[in-house]
Structure 1
Amino acid sequence: MEKNPITPEGHAKLRDELHNLKSVERPKIIQMIATAREHGDLSENAEYHAAREKQSFTEGRIKELEAKLALAEVIDPSKLSGAKVAFGATVVLSNATTGEETKYQILGADEADLTKGSISITSPLARSLLGKEVGDEVKVRMPGGDRTYEVLDVIYK
């Protein structure tokens, strides 16, 4: 299996979510199931079926988080440097057509949030940027059509 790059902050968030699911949510669901069983006939007991469904979802999420954490490769962008774009870099780009400047940080798939200015390392744009330097032009095939960007700056923070 392939390692999944993640920042220390992203790793901590996944660990905290896993801990919460195991130590808070799981016992709460077990109690909900026990309470629903006391109500009698399970075949027509909506509370019981809802609790079992929630249990199934929670157990699935726990397995998913454990797998992600097992494959996580923690990389601290603040300890990186260099002129080439790599995981953790914040890249300032200029759209060659419109001249519009944008800034993205390249993070792992579990941390990426376009509304916060971060993109997944597996996205078409990030894959095209990896290894590029200031002044390089990058052509990217995106769902909305091909775009060309110029790398204006590469920052590790």
Structure 2
Amino acid sequence: MDRPNYITPQGYAALKARYDQLLGVERPAIVEIVSWAAGNGDRSENGDYLYGRKRMREIDRELNRLARKMKAARVIDPATQNDKSRVWFGAEVDIADEDDNWRTLTLVGDDEQDAGAGRIGWSSPLARALKGASVGDLRTVQLPAGAREYEVMAIRYPG
């Protein structure tokens, strides 16, 4: 990874929980199925064996991906932000567009983003435009549909 993988403590805990679930529960269950299926004889036509091996490879790839993400993670607790008057990582921001449509967004790590829940990735175009903004600042964002201007209406941090 060429840049730090910023993540909130909650996001890191979710990555760790998924890793632990795969390593401690799902992988051992698949290993048991593959061992049982291997004892049944001809492996070339043994569906349980073939599926189990395929699923084990998928789990191992996911474990490697999660391990890399956790190793590169830089956990930042938004509650410890020094300058709470500006938009930085972990901020919850109320913005309004030119049509006075309000949205509440939280700037989180890219691994935690969920646009439907208002959680946008730190490296998204909108988050990059909002970085460092204060209440009342106007920021222009280049979106696929064209440029949009947003005004920062409020900034909050947890804690």
Query: Which residue does the alignment assign to 2:19?
Result: 18
Which residue matches 1:133?
134
Partner residue in 2 for 1:87? 89
Cα deviation for residue 17 of structure 1 reads 1.1
Q: Tell me the CA shift for residue 77 of structure 1.
A: 1.0
Percent identical among aligned pairs is 37
Task: Quote the Cα distance in structure 1 between the aligned partners of 2:125 and 2:4.
Answer: 19
CA distance in 1, matches of 2:145, 2:49: 46
Listed as ranges, the gaps of 5+ residues in structure 2 are none
Instruction: Give the alignment of 1:39-54 within 5 angstroms.
Output: 39-54=40-55
- Report what 1:101 is aligned to: 102
Deviation at 1:64, TM superposition (A): 0.6
Q: Which amino acid aligns with 1:48?
A: Y
The corresponding residue for 2:125 is 124
What is the count of residue pairs matched by the alignment? Answer: 156
For 1:40 and 1:147, locate their aligned partners in 2 and report how far apart those are by CA, in whole Å.
64
Give, as a single letter, the amino acid of the residue that structure 1 aligns with 2:50: H
TM-score (norm 2): 0.93
Structure 1 length-normalised TM: 0.94
Larger mean CA deviation between 18-27 and 50-59 belongs to: 18-27
Which consecutive aligned stretches of 4+ in structure 1 deviate over 4 angstroms post-superposition?
none
Deviates more, 1:143-152 or 1:5-14: 143-152
Cα offset, 1:69, TM superposition = 0.6
Q: Hey, what's the Cα distance between the residues in 2 that align with 1:77 and 1:135?
A: 21
What root-mean-square deviation, in Å, do the aligned CA atoms of Structure 1 and Structure 2 show? 1.1
